[in-house]
Amino acid sequence: MDPNSCSNIEAETKEMDARSLSASHQHSQYLHKVGIPPKQNLLREFIARVKETLFADDPLRPFKDQPRSRKLVLGIEAIFPIFEWGRSYNWRKFRGDLIAGLTIASLCIPQDIGYARLANLAPQYGLYSSFVPPLIYAFMGSSRDIAIGPVAVVSLLLGSMLSNEIDPNQNEAEYLRLAFTATFFAGITQVTLGFLRLGFLIDFLSHAAIIGFMAGAAITIALQQLKGLLGIQKFTKKTDIISVMRSVWGSVHHGWNWQTILIGVSFLSFLLLTKYIGKKNKKFFWVPAIAPLISVILSTFFVYITHAEKKGVQIVKNIEKGINPSSVNQIYFTGDYLLKGLKIGVVAGMIALTEAVAIGRTFASMKDYQLDGNKEMVALGAMNVVGSLASCYVATGSFSRSAVNFMSGCETAVSNIIMSCVVFLTLEFLTPLFKYTPNAILAAIIISAVVGLIDVKAAILVWKIDKFDFVACLGAFLGVVFASVEIGLLIAVIISFAKILLQVTRPRTAILGKVPRTNVYRNILQYPEATKVPGVLIVRVDSAIYFSNSNYVKERILRWLMDEEEKVKAACQPTIHFLIVEMSPVTDIDTSGIHALEELHRSLEKKNIQLILANPGPMVMDKLEASKFANLIGDDKIFLTVADAVSSCSPKRVENV
Amino acid sequence: MDPNSCSNIEAETKEMDARSLSASHQHSQYLHKVGIPPKQNLLREFIARVKETLFADDPLRPFKDQPRSRKLVLGIEAIFPIFEWGRSYNWRKFRGDLIAGLTIASLCIPQDIGYARLANLAPQYGLYSSFVPPLIYAFMGSSRDIAIGPVAVVSLLLGSMLSNEIDPNQNEAEYLRLAFTATFFAGITQVTLGFLRLGFLIDFLSHAAIIGFMAGAAITIALQQLKGLLGIQKFTKKTDIISVMRSVWGSVHHGWNWQTILIGVSFLSFLLLTKYIGKKNKKFFWVPAIAPLISVILSTFFVYITHAEKKGVQIVKNIEKGINPSSVNQIYFTGDYLLKGLKIGVVAGMIALTEAVAIGRTFASMKDYQLDGNKEMVALGAMNVVGSLASCYVATGSFSRSAVNFMSGCETAVSNIIMSCVVFLTLEFLTPLFKYTPNAILAAIIISAVVGLIDVKAAILVWKIDKFDFVACLGAFLGVVFASVEIGLLIAVIISFAKILLQVTRPRTAILGKVPRTNVYRNILQYPEATKVPGVLIVRVDSAIYFSNSNYVKERILRWLMDEEEKVKAACQPTIHFLIVEMSPVTDIDTSGIHALEELHRSLEKKNIQLILANPGPMVMDKLEASKFANLIGDDKIFLTVADAVSSCSPKRVENV
C-alpha cells in the first residue's frame, strides 16, 4: 500500500467533521419512505413491457378514438403514405422534385452501370434496379429525401457472397438466378423485421463499426476499380488488398493499357475536381452531380471517333434494350440454392437496411420530421420483393444520391418517380448510346463516388470520444481491407456484441463521498473534494443487477470493503460498521441479483457490518418485497436518499468506535 | 386521452406551488460544478479496464511487494492450494474428513454405477471417474466442501449427445473413444476458460434458467429409470416424455416384470423414506447418505439367495476388476470425431462448470471463505484432462454428495482423497460382489438422487420475483422434458441472451417529480405524491446510452415530451420550456449516444425548449467535453443535481408563460 495515499485519506476524513454529519441528521426527518409501486396486474405488466419493446413509438396512436371509416383511411395511409402527403401536393413542390429527380437520374445512370459490375452482373440489371424499386418506394416509403437504387457496398457484398457459391463467368444464368433469390429473401427479411417490429435489431451494429466497415468497403471497391482504370485483363477474384495489389503489380509489364489509363486518370481527376468544387461552395453542389454523366458522354464520344476500343480500351459493348423482364420463374424456391440464397439475402438485406435507415434518420432529423423505422423497413422490403420478381437486385437508399436529392431541393418521394421515369426512357431508347462507353470511365465514377464513404473526421471523433468504439471501427476496417467484406462485417458484429456483453457483465461501481456544504453524495473520483463519512462505506452500483453480473457486483462490493478496511486500519481510523449501497442506477434486479444481495448480507453480518440500501427504484423495491429481502435486512434499512441513510447510521456508534 | 388522468395531473401540478420552487432556488447556490475527471493516460485506462474485466478479483494481490523466493512459494500454493492449507492440517480436521469421506464413498459407489449407465457406459467407468479426478482435485481445488465425481445431468447430457453421433450398442469401442475425446476437450475447455480468466462466461446462463433446466433433466433422468425399475427390455432411445411414456405403456402386457417391480418399488420407497427422515431431522442426515449402499447390499444378497435373475430380474452381471487402464491412445486427435468430440466436450464442460461453480460458491458463502472461480476452473479442467487419459468420463462437483460431505463435517478436500481410496479398494477387490445387484436398485437410487434437483420452492420464488425469469425457467424445463436436453439447454441460453439484449436495447425511462418538502426528485410512478414542476419536464434515463439504445432513448424522450405537451395543452397549463435529463444512472455513453443527444438538442431547439443535463457521471462528462457537446448546449446547462437544474430554469419564464 502506498503510504501517501493513506495520509491523504486520513486528512480528508478528518476534514469531514461531525458537524456535517449532524447537519444531515437535522435536515432529513425520515418524512418519506421509499415508495413501493402499486401491485400491477401480471397481464397488464406483460403487455406494457411488450408494447414498450416492440411498439416503443406507439404506431397506433392516431387510430385511437376514430370512427371505423376513418380508421380504414388511416390504415391505407399508413401503408401507402403517398395518399397522405399526396393530397397536399402542389406545383411548387413538383418543381423542386422535378429538378432533384433529373439531377439524381443523371448521377444514377452511370453509377448503376458500374455498381452492377461490382455485383458481377450485366450493366442493365443496375438500371433495372433503379426503375422498379424507386417507384414502389415512392408509394410506400415515408422518407422525403432518400434516393433509391443499387449502392456500392451492397453490390460489393452481394457480388462477393454470390461468387463464393457460383462462378459468375462459368455459370452466368445460375448466378443471376441466385442473385434474384437473394434479393427476394433480402426483401422478405426486411418486411419481416419491419412487420414484427424487430427493427431495433439493426441497432446492434454500432455506429463506430459502421464507419469502419464503410471506409473499408470504399477502399476495397476503389481497389477493384484498378482493373478497369488500368485496363488489366487478368485480375484476381479476391478482394483483400494484398491479393489485389499483387495482381496489379504482377501485370505492370504486359497488362496495363496506356490509352485506358490516360482516359481513366484524366476523367478521375476531373470528377474529383468537381467534387472538390462542390464541397468548397455549396452553391455548386450540382457540378459533381452532373459531372459523371458529362464524363460518360464526352468519353463515349471520344472513343467513338478515335476507335480507341481497337487499341485495347475496353468498352461496355452492349446493354440490353428494353425495360425489366419478369424474373418470377428464375427464383429458386426449392433445392440447395434456396438456403444459400436465403443466407445471402438475410445478410444483404440487413446491411441494406442499416444504410437506408441511417440515411433516412439523418435527413429526417435535418428537416425535423419523424420517421417510423419499422414502416420504412416494410417499404424497403416490399420494394425488393417486387424488384426480385422484375429482374432487379438489392436496392436501398444511397448516401451520395440522397445527399444530392436533398441539396437539389427535393420535397417528396416524387423525385424518385421522376428518376425512375428517366431510367425508363434510358432503358427504352438510349442504351445503344452506351456501347462505346469505356469501362475506365465507370471505374473513375465509382472511385469518385465511394471516396465519400471514407469519413476520416468521424473516425477521429470516435477516437476522441471512446477508445473502445475506435477498436470496433478499426477492426471492421482492417477486416474488410485485409480479409473480405464478410469477415469485416463479422468482426464489426462480434465487437459490437462483445461491448454489450462487457457492459452487462462488468458494470461500474463507485465509492461515494459527501460534496462539502451540500447533502449530495457523489463519486469521489469525479469530485475529489467529496469526503468519506467515517465508519461508513457508500458504494454505488451503476447497472441493473442481473444474473450476468450479480456475482461480480457482490464480489466487487466486498473488495471495495476489504480495500477500505485495510486503509482504515493503516490510518487508525474508526472501523467500518455500515455499508450503504446506493441503488439509484439499479433499475432492475432478478432472482440471481436478490440471491447475490442475500449472500452479501450474510457476509456482512459475519463481519458485524450493517447493510443499508438507498433509493431503490420501483422494480427493485417490488422485488425486494416479493423476495422478503426487505424484511431480512429490515424495512427501516431502506432509505430515500443516501443522506437519509447516512444520518441513520447511529453517530455515536460511528464516532466512538 | 383519458380525461380523468388529465384532471389528476392538473390537480397535482397546481399543488406544486411557487413556494417550493423558490425554496429549491434558495437552497442551492451553484457552489459545485459537475466534476470533470482528470484526463487519464490512454494505456493506463485500457489496462485498468482489462484488469477490471478479467482480473476483477485481483488474483495477484498477495504477490505484491514480496521477495522472489516467497513469490515462487506463493505461485506453487496458488496452483496447488493443498500446500497452503496442508501445513495447518491436523488430526482434528482429519477425523472430520475421514467420516465425511467414508459417508460420501458409500453414497458415490452405487450412484457411479448408475450414472455410467445414463452415459451409456459400462459401470466400471463410473467408478474410474470417482477415483482419479477427486485425487487431482484435492491437490488443485480450493473448495473445501465439494465432492467430485460423475453427476446425473452431465452423464445424461453426454449420453444423449454421444449417442447422436455413434450408436453405443453397435460400436461400443468407438463410442467409448468418443467419450474420452469429449472428456479431454471438456477439460481443455475448462482450463482455457479459467486460464484466460473468462470464467464470467458461465454467468450468462441465468439462475432461473438453471433451475428449470435441472428440474427438467431430473424428470428426464427419472423417466429413463422406468426401464430398470419396471424391467422393460425394449426401450426407446429418445429422452422426451412422450416417447418414453409411449414406450412404457406399449410394454405393459409383455414387457414388465413383476419381480423387478417389487424389488425396485420397495427399495425406492425405502430410499425416499430415508430422504424424508434426513430432511425432517438434520441430525439424521447420514441415514439417506448410507441408505443406497444398504439397499445395494440387501438387494444383492436377496437376488443371490433367491436366484431372481433367472426369473427375469436384470442384474449388473459383471464389473471389470482393477483400477483405471490408460486411455491415452484412445482419444481421437485426428479425423471426423475430433471435431465432434470437441463440440460435445465444450458443451459438457461448460455445464459441468456451471454446476461445480454454483456448488462451490454456495458452500463457500456458508463457511464464509472466498473462492476464485477462475482457479477452480483450472483445477476442474486439469482433473478432467488427466481423467480422460485414465479412462474416466466428465466428472464435476455433485449437488447431493457435496451436501452430504458438508453435513458430515468435512474440513478440507482430504475427504475427496478418502473417498477416492475407498473407490480404489472397491475397484481392486469388491467389484465381483456387485454381480447380482439388480438394475432396479440402481434405478431406484438414481431416482431418489435426482428428486433433489427439482427445486419447486426456488421456482415459486422466481415466479414471485420476476415473471420474465420464470419464462426462462419454464422454457428450459419444457424444452428438456418435451424435446431433449440439448434443446432445453439451447432454450435456456437463448432466453438468457434475449433478456440481456432486451435490457440494453430498451432501457427504462421515468418522469421525475419533486417529493414534497424535500429537494429530491423521484419517479412519479413510484412516488405518487411527487409533483411535476410547471414548464419543466424532468426525464431520467436508466441506462448507459450506447449504440444499441441511443435511438430508442432519443425517441422515447421526445415521446414523453409530446405526451406531456398534450396534457399541458388540455389542462391550459404553462407550456414546457425546459427539458431536464437526469443522467445519474447513465454510466457511460458512446459515439452513437452523443449523436443521439445532438439530435435531441436539435429537435428541442426547433421547439424552443432548452435541454439541461443533471449529474452526468465521470465517463459521460469526459465524453461530453471531448465531443464538444458540452459547449454546444452550454457548460452552464449541466448541473450537479436536478434541484440545481430546476432552480436554474428562470422562474419568471416558467411562471409567466
A182-207: pLDDT as tens digits:
999 999 999 999 888 877 777 777 78
3-state per-residue secondary structure call for A363-422: HHHHHCCCCCHHHHHHHHHHHHHHHHHCCCCCCEECHHHHHHHHHCCCCCCHHHHHHHHH
List residues bridging with A536 in a β-sheet: A578
Tell me if ipTM is over 0.85: no
User: How many CB atoms lie under 10 A from the CB of residue A321?
Assistant: 12
Q: CA-to-CA distance for B622 and B292, rounded, in angstroms?
A: 64
* Least confidently predicted of A34-48, A60-74, A145-159, A473-487: A34-48
Interface contact A599, partner B, CB < 8 A: yes
Average the pLDDT over B328-345 and give the result: 90
Nearest to A556 among B56, B200, B594 (CB): B56
pLDDT at position A441 over 50: yes
A149 phi and psi, to 5 degrees?
A: 160, -175
* A582: phi then psi, degrees, rounded to nearest 5: -80, 115
Contacts of B590 in chain A (CB under 8 A): 206-208, 465-466, 468-469
Mean pLDDT of B208-225: 89
pLDDT bucket at B28, cuts 50 / 70 / 90: very low
**DSSP per residue, B459-488:** HHHHHHH-HHHHHHHHHHHHHHHHT-HHHH
pLDDT tens, position by position, A599-625: 899 889 888 899 999 988 888 888 888
Look at residue B348 and tell me whether its pLDDT is greater than 90: yes
Distance from the A192 Cα atom to the nearest Cα atom in chain B, whole angstroms:
19
Q: Where are the domains of chain A?
A: 3-36+507-656, 91-501
Contact status, residue A420 vs residue A135, Cβ threshold 8 Å:
yes
The Cβ of residue B389 has, within 10 Å, a number of other Cβ atoms equal to: 20
Give the whole-number percent of chain A exceeding pLDDT 90: 27
Taking an 8 Å cut-off on Cβ atoms, the answer to whether A548 and B53 are in contact is no
Would the CA dihedral through A159, A165, A170, A176 be positive or negative?
negative
CA nearest neighbour of A345 among A391, A374, A388, A399: A388
Contact B203 A525 (CB under 8 A): no
User: Do A282 and A407 form a contact (C-beta atoms < 8 A)?
Assistant: yes
What phi-psi label fits residue A51: left (phi over 0), alpha (psi between -120 and 50 degrees) or beta? alpha
Q: Is B58 in contact with A559 (CB distance < 8 Å)?
A: yes
Q: Would an 8 Å CB–CB cutoff place A204 in contact with chain B?
A: yes
pTM of the prediction? 0.74
Specify the pLDDT at position B475: 92
Q: Buried b vs exposed e over B447-482: b needs ≥16 C-beta within 10 Å?
A: bbbbbbbbbeebbebbbebbebbbbbbbbbbbbbbe
Tell which of A57, A521, A523, A548 to mutate to test the B interface (max B CBs under 10 Å).
A548
Q: Residue A206: which of B496, B507, B592 has the nearest Cβ?
A: B592
**B544 in A contact zone (CB under 8 Å):** yes
3-state DSSP assignment of residue A329: helix
Contact B618 A525 (CB under 8 A): yes
> Does the distance separating the beta carbons of B53 and A559 come in below 8 Å?
no
- Per CB-CB distance under 8 Å, the chain A contacts of B506 are 52-53, 56, 200
Q: What is the mean pLDDT of residues A64-74?
A: 82
Check pLDDT > 50 for residue A481. Answer: yes
Nearest-angstrom CA–CA distance, B579 and B260: 77
Residues 207-236 of A with CB under 8 A from B: 207-208
According to DSSP, the residues that pair with A39 across neighbouring strands are none
Place of cell 432411445: B237
* Contact partners, residue A139, CB within 8 Å, separation at least 6: A80, A82, A413
The residues pairing with A71 across neighbouring beta strands, listed in sequence order, are none
Cα–Cα distance for residue pair B89/B85, rounded to 1 Å: 6
Contact (Cβ atoms closer than 8 angstroms) between residue A515 and residue A506: no
User: For residues B288 and B277, what is the distance between their CA atoms, to the nearest angstrom?
Assistant: 8
Nearest to A52, CA basis, from A165, A200, A240:
A200
> For residue A508, which of A437, A434, A438, A560 has the smallest C-alpha distance?
A560
List all residues of chain A from 97 to 156 with a beta carbon under 8 Å from chain B: none
* Pairing mode of beta strands A509-514, A536-541: antiparallel
Instruction: Establish if A173 touches chain B: CB-CB under 8 angstroms.
Output: no
What is the rounded CA–CA span in Å between residue A524 and residue A205? Answer: 34
Question: Is the model's pLDDT at A34 over the cut of 80?
Answer: no
Range B69-85 burial, b when 16+ CB lie within 10 A, else e? eeeeeeeebbeebbeeb
Q: Does B557 touch chain A (CB under 8 A)?
A: no
Q: Which of A208, A588, A615 sits opposite B591 (nearest CB)?
A: A208
A455 and B CB contact within 8 Å: no
Find the CB nearest B546 among A503, A529, A615: A503
Cα of B199 to nearest chain A Cα, Å: 11
* Residue A444, pLDDT score: 92
Q: What is the pLDDT of residue B508?
A: 83
Give the pLDDT confidence of B571-610 residue by residue, as tens digits: 888 888 999 999 888 888 888 888 889 989 988 888 889 9
Q: Which of B367, B518, B621 to mutate to test the interface with A (most CBs of A within 10 A)?
A: B518
Does B58 touch chain A if contact means CB atoms closer than 8 Å? yes
How many whole angstroms separate alpha carbon B275 and alpha carbon A243? 70
Cβ neighbour number for residue A108 with a 10 Å cutoff: 31
Residue A561 has pLDDT above 60, yes or no: yes
The residue whose grid cell reads 440402481 is B442
B121-163 confidence digits (pLDDT tens): 999 999 999 999 999 999 999 888 899 999 999 999 999 899 9
User: Does the domain spanning A3-36+507-656 belong to CATH 3.30.750.24?
Assistant: yes
- What pLDDT is recorded for position A603? 86
